[in-house]
Structure 1
């Protein structure tokens, strides 16, 4: 900022000016001081505008950074939610698969038991028929003798 340079020039003018003995005051060239003040008035609006622009630009950058940070946070939250959902979906799929397998195993057991009972029932019938046939054969043989 140029205004700081001008203020330093003013300080130098005061420092190099002749001092009035026993008073703590100094003699300054009035025209030179007015010239410095005039230069300050000219430069001050530019420096204020520049400072205002820097402040606004800083604010804009901060807002952009905040928006970007919020977007990153939302993306991260969505990704986490997606991963959790995928985990839940996978978990449910495993549960359903286990239920289907358990049901299939139960049905297989029931079918095996049913098949055994049916086979036992058929064999029992065959045994009864054979027993009856054997009895008939014995009776017929006895009659033949």
Structure 2
């Protein structure tokens, strides 16, 4: 800031000024000090405006950063909810798949047992028919031989 440089210049003038004997007073060139004070008055409003602008810009940047942070946080929360929801869907789908597999296995077992029972009944029936046929054949043979 130029104002600070000008104030430093005033301090330098006062430090290098001739002092009056037996006092803490110094002799300075009044015109030179007035010239520096006029420059300070000219520059001070510009620097105050610049400082105010910097402060406003800082506030704007902070507000924008907060808005961006809030947006990122909201997006992250939505993504998390979506992932949780997908996880729930996956769990439900796995549970449903397990139910379907169990039901299919039970149905297959039932069908297998039914098929075995059906085959056994057919074989039993065939065995009975064959037994009857064998008995009939034996009876016919006996009749042919004359054994009664």
TM over 0.5: yes
Q: How much has 1:25 moved relative to structure 2? A: 1.8
Q: Does 2:80 align with 1:80?
A: yes
Q: Deviations 1:72-92 (Å, cap 9, x if unpaired)?
A: 222333333333333333333
Q: Which residue in 1 is equivalent to 2:34? A: 34
Count of aligned pairs: 145
Trace 1:54-69 onto structure 2 (pairs within 5 A).
54-69=54-69
In 1, Cα distance between equivalents of 2:133 and 2:12: 141
Q: Which residue in 2 is equivalent to 1:11? A: 11
Q: Deviations 1:11-46 (Å, cap 9, x if unpaired)?
A: 122112211222222122333322222222221111
Calculate the TM-score normalised by the size of structure 2: 0.82
Calculate the TM-score normalised by the size of structure 1: 0.84
Aligned CA RMSD, in angstroms, stands at: 2.1
Q: How much has 1:111 moved relative to structure 2? A: 0.3
Q: How much has 1:143 moved relative to structure 2? A: 4.7
Q: Which residue in 1 is equivalent to 2:101? A: 101
Q: How much has 1:141 moved relative to structure 2? A: 4.3
Q: Which residue in 2 is equivalent to 1:24? A: 24
Gaps of 5+ in 1: none
